[in-house]
Structure 1
């Protein structure tokens, strides 16, 4: 079982001393999320209704944060499928992804982070119903789209 626990924020380097991801894996994860966030903010992604999501603004590009990686890895090393306690990640959002396979962990590891991202972003076209206000409400949460809303982070305003 591979567990990916991913948190992204801003710093300048893709080299994280003692980290388990390679610089290229980090770059791939950040690039994937920035590409999808850009498509979203430019109104190029559709929800489950087939409606384009509203255009937005003020959604900054992401860069990697080694401290968040370390925090996520610390929890993933417990091999518990579930979220860490809020006290262990104060002020930090969190998505959890698990993948079971009989394949080589070494080969799966190279794409585990981007596979997790694909899974989380797939909630938009598969589950996310039209929400013109772009507010995260109990009704939106009940659609099973909280992973998508976490990586999207509801950071933009409607035009």
Structure 2
């Protein structure tokens, strides 16, 4: 089960106490923000074609320790369903199985 909660609210880039290591957070944000910047600037290529620039600049994602804590709490329940007490946070749920 993959659970992701993302927010543009926080300005904190610090490692969260007991959370994901700072190097992993930095790697995630750097990769995501590089893609966002390429879309924003009009340098993103999809299916061999350069996509037009965004009409308004796309801001970089930032990390939020409270959202990380909330996401981990939901993941710890091992229930594959949207949570009911999400404080207006978005959730993306994904599951994949392979038959061998």
Q: Smaller-chain TM-score range?
A: 0.7 to 0.9
TM-score (norm 1): 0.50
**What value does the CA root-mean-square deviation take over the aligned residues?**
2.7
Runs of 5+ in structure 1 lacking a partner? Answer: 102-159
Which structure has more helix as a fraction of its residues? 1
* Runs of 4+ with >6 A deviation: none
Q: Which one has more relative contact order, counting CA pairs under 8 Å at least 6 apart? A: 2
Change (3 A) 1:44 1:89: same
1:12 aligns to 2:9 (yes or no): no
Alignment length, in residue pairs? 97
TM-score (norm 2): 0.74
Runs of 5+ in structure 2 lacking a partner? Answer: none
Contact 2:5 2:89 in 1 (8 A): no
1:80 aligns to 2:55 (yes or no): no
In 1, Cα distance between the equivalents of 2:47 and 2:29?
Answer: 25
In 2, Cα distance between the equivalents of 1:22 and 1:97?
Answer: 23
* Structure 1 SS opposite 2:81: coil
Q: 1:82, CA displacement in angstroms?
A: 3.1
Contact 1:42 1:56 in 2 (8 A): no
